[in-house]
Structure 1
Amino acid sequence: MSGVPRTGCAETMDALREELQRAAEGPSAEGLPTLPADRDRPVGDRPVEEPPSADDEVSESERILADRERTLGPDHPDTLLARTNVGGACQQAGHPDRAVRLFEQILADGERVLGPDHPDTLTFRNNLAGGHEAAGDPARAIPLYEDALTGRERVLGPDDLRTLQCRDNLARAHELTDAPAQAIPLHERTLTDRERTLGPGHPYTLLSRGNLAYTHHTAGNGEMGAQLFAHTLTDSERHLGPDHPATRHVRQLLTHVRSA
């Protein structure tokens, strides 16, 4: 695992990433498909239901997988996706080693059943990389992200949202291995592509500029980091609003970088 200490700045950056991801998945984000509405979200005066625990999510995903294996067979694409959901649930529940084992099996099954260049197989490879990263081994994640990125660029195209996300993941893994010089050009390209395809105010574009700013900061390029965070703040205030949680996080990061 990377030896980078967790600082207040790093924690704020993590919070910014979460808020911008949430904003990108919301119905107001232009240029992206919206996710299905959460069936447990309260409407009007409906009481708020307790969300299931992480271990309950694992049990439910295992039940669905067993049903798919029984009705569709172990190699059906829907069964593979259900097995992927079990791995993701295990990762969220804090069982990274089990998640990695599942993701390894899913990738092998995907390559055998669907072929190495199928979009789902490329997703399985990306997920295995993410599993290693979550397990504290970003160095093992890097070659998997690189392979997934190459495949997505070839199969899906350089502007596909999944391609851009994979490049983002690769850059993040380089950051976690104390290699900001490797991460910076990846963030630069992703920022350029997202500005062109999504526009300057899209949450994913704001995320890319924030990532680039933070990586410059960690690389010792404080002035560049401050300039990029200032640009991100201006765009976030304009497109998300001055009181949006993401805007507040960018403001905190800018203050930190300027005072460093």
Structure 2
Amino acid sequence: MAFPAVQRGFCTTIKLKETVLGKDHLDTLTSMNNLAIALKEQGKYAEAAAMHLKTMQLREMMLGKDHPDTLGGMNNLTVALEKQEKYAEAEAMHQQTLKLRETVLGKDHPDTLTSMNNLAILLRLQGKYAEAEAMHRQTLQLRETVLGKDHPDTLDSMNNLAVTLEKQGKYTEAEAMHLQTMHLIEAALGKDHPDTLTSMNNLAVTLEKQGKETVLGKDHSDTLGSMNNLAVALEEQGKYAEAEAMHQRAL
């Protein structure tokens, strides 16, 4: 994506909408939200957070604090704060968003489950592994019930739980969960899908931490090819730091 051009386009659209529709028109706020997302994708997290905050405040004033669009804005702001490693602020915002979504949408609504998942990830990033594990297990159970076992969000929860188990040194459980996730993702999306490759890599890391060698070995050409493919896949998802690390590892 040509980010600068996209950003200029959003800015132009916002100015036109502000002139024609007004600063607090819902269409104007949608464009502001899109600009904030574009800024986040460029790694401009401080600017993105400022834009998300402004959008959220305007939505709250226009639609109310418990409107789904306002809650979506709160979630976006939290992610931008998290990217800046402002974990305390992000956690407080996640907790607030989760409570509001549970009240407004219900405990088993997909948006509520997204908030639970995001909060669990943030807890893990802060090293609160026991809390993170408990929340990931709860989210996984609800997603399996509501969405089904092979839904992408359910598989994401399985992967997140496996990573959290691994962080606590629970390698046997993590390995089993990664293996199960990989098979389900491969069946649903195909062997060459970026999510399948990511899952394969996560399993390989867990095996490596246990001192278990892979079938082909680290320096086999097929292994190196898979690492390179994964790096490209991460890059295409905008996960540039992870992609760079994987490229370095393959090199």
TM-score tier (shorter): 0.7 to 0.9
Structure 2 counterpart of 1:203, from 135, 152, 157? 152
Number of aligned residues: 209
**Structure 2 residue identity aligned to 1:127:** N
The equivalent residue for 1:226 is: 175
**Structure 1 residue identity aligned to 2:78:** A
**Structure 2 residue identity aligned to 1:165:** T
Separation in structure 1 between the aligned mates of residue 57 and residue 79 of structure 2, nearest angstrom: 16
The equivalent residue for 2:110 is: 161
The equivalent residue for 1:216 is: 165
**Higher helix proportion:** 2
Note the 1:9-158 alignment, pairs <5 A.
Answer: 51=1, 53-158=2-107
Separation in structure 1 between the aligned mates of residue 184 and residue 31 of structure 2, nearest angstrom: 39
Matched-pair contact (CA < 8 Å) for 1:84–1:103: yes
Structure 2 counterpart of 1:193, from 136, 142, 163? 142
Separation in structure 1 between the aligned mates of residue 109 and residue 126 of structure 2, nearest angstrom: 26
**Structure 2 unaligned residues grouped into runs of 5+:** 210-251
TM-score (norm 2): 0.78
Q: 1:63-98 deviations in whole A, cap 9, x for unaligned?
A: 111121112111112221211112112222222111
Matched-pair contact (CA < 8 Å) for 1:139–1:173: no
Change (3 A) 1:108 1:214: same
**Structure 1 unaligned residues grouped into runs of 5+:** 1-50
Q: Structure 1 residue 237: deviation in Å?
A: 3.2
Separation in structure 1 between the aligned mates of residue 39 and residue 186 of structure 2, nearest angstrom: 37
**Aligned-pair RMSD on alpha carbons?**
1.6
Q: Structure 1 residue 243: deviation in Å?
A: 4.1
Separation in structure 1 between the aligned mates of residue 5 and residue 85 of structure 2, nearest angstrom: 24
Matched-pair contact (CA < 8 Å) for 1:58–1:93: no
Structure 2 counterpart of 1:173, from 113, 122, 125? 122
Separation in structure 2 between the aligned mates of residue 97 and residue 255 of structure 1, nearest angstrom: 35
Separation in structure 1 between the aligned mates of residue 120 and residue 157 of structure 2, nearest angstrom: 10
Q: Structure 1 residue 208: deviation in Å?
A: 0.7
SS state of the match for residue 208, structure 1?
A: helix
Separation in structure 2 between the aligned mates of residue 98 and residue 240 of structure 1, nearest angstrom: 35
Q: 1:177-219 deviations in whole A, cap 9, x for unaligned?
A: 1222221112111111111122111221111101100111012
**Structure 1 residue identity aligned to 2:172:** E
Task: Compare relative contact order (CA 8 Å, sep 6+) and give the higher one, 1 or 2.
Answer: 1
Structure 2 counterpart of 1:257, from 206, 212, 220? 206
